[in-house]
Amino acid sequence: MVKITGSNQPMGIHKSAGKAKKSASKSRASDRVKVSDAAGLKERAKVLLSDMPDVRLDQIEGIRDALENGSYTMNNKAIASHIVRNALSEHAWG
């Protein structure tokens, strides 16, 4: 959503400023504005969210409790393996 406040005139251009009008019309030829379709973005977000796994609050609470009381253990090799695997899958190799 775009919100514009103030006068109906573009910033820096006034009716009495003939020179500003000329420079503004010259810059308009090279200026570009890309406006995204809000409905398209909303649909894309729905697709991305539907692909995400459900959050399992019981697991999150268990991990949080284990972290708080110091009993949480991590498998460093498994974590490193996942980090490397994810990094390699994101790289364009072709």
Residue 81 lies in a domain: yes
Q: Is residue 88 part of a domain?
A: yes
Compute how many other C-beta atoms are within 10 angstroms of the C-beta atom of residue 5.
4
**Residue 11 maps to a domain:** no
Q: What is the pLDDT of residues 46-85, one digit of tens each?
A: 888 888 878 888 899 999 999 999 999 999 999 999 999 9
| Structural domain harbouring 92 | 59-94
- Please check whether residue 9 lies inside any domain of the structure: no
Contact present, 21 and 10 (Cβ < 8 Å): no
Asked if residue 66 is part of any domain, the answer here is yes
What residues have CB less than 8 Å from 66, skipping those under 6 apart? 72
Q: Mean pLDDT score of the chain, rounded to an integer?
A: 75
Query: For residues 20 and 6, is the Cβ–Cβ distance under 8 A?
Result: no
Q: Quote the tokens at residue 1.
A: 């959503």
Residue 49 has a pLDDT of: 85
Q: How many domains would you assign to the chain?
A: 1
Q: Are 13 and 21 in contact (CB under 8 A)?
A: yes
In a domain, 27, yes or no: no
